[in-house]
Amino acid sequence: MLELLSDSAALGRTSPVAISALTRRATGATYHAAGLNPDELAFIERVVEMSAQTAVAAARNSNQRLVIAMAGATIAGFMIATRHSEESRELDWLMVDPDFHGGGVAAPLMRAGMAWLGEERPMWLNVVRHNERAIHFYRKHGFEIDPDAQTAHVMPHWIMRRG
Q: What is the CATH number of domain 2-117?
A: 3.40.630.30
Query: pLDDT tens-digit profile of 12-44?
Result: 999 999 999 999 999 999 999 999 999 999 999
CA distance 5 to 89: 21
3-state secondary structure of 144: strand
Q: Which amino acid is it at 61?
A: N
Instruction: Indicate whether 1 pLDDT > 90.
Output: no
Domain ranges of the chain: 2-117
Distances (CA, A) of 160 to 11, 62, 85, 90, 148: 28, 24, 18, 10, 10
Query: pLDDT tens-digit profile of 86-145?
Result: 999 999 999 999 999 999 999 999 999 999 999 999 999 999 999 999 999 999 999 999
CA distance 69 to 4: 5
The number of residues in the chain equals: 163
Q: Which pTM does this prediction carry?
A: 0.95
Q: What stretches of the chain adopt beta strand conformation (E)? A: 2-6, 64-71, 74-85, 88-96, 123-128, 144-145, 157-162
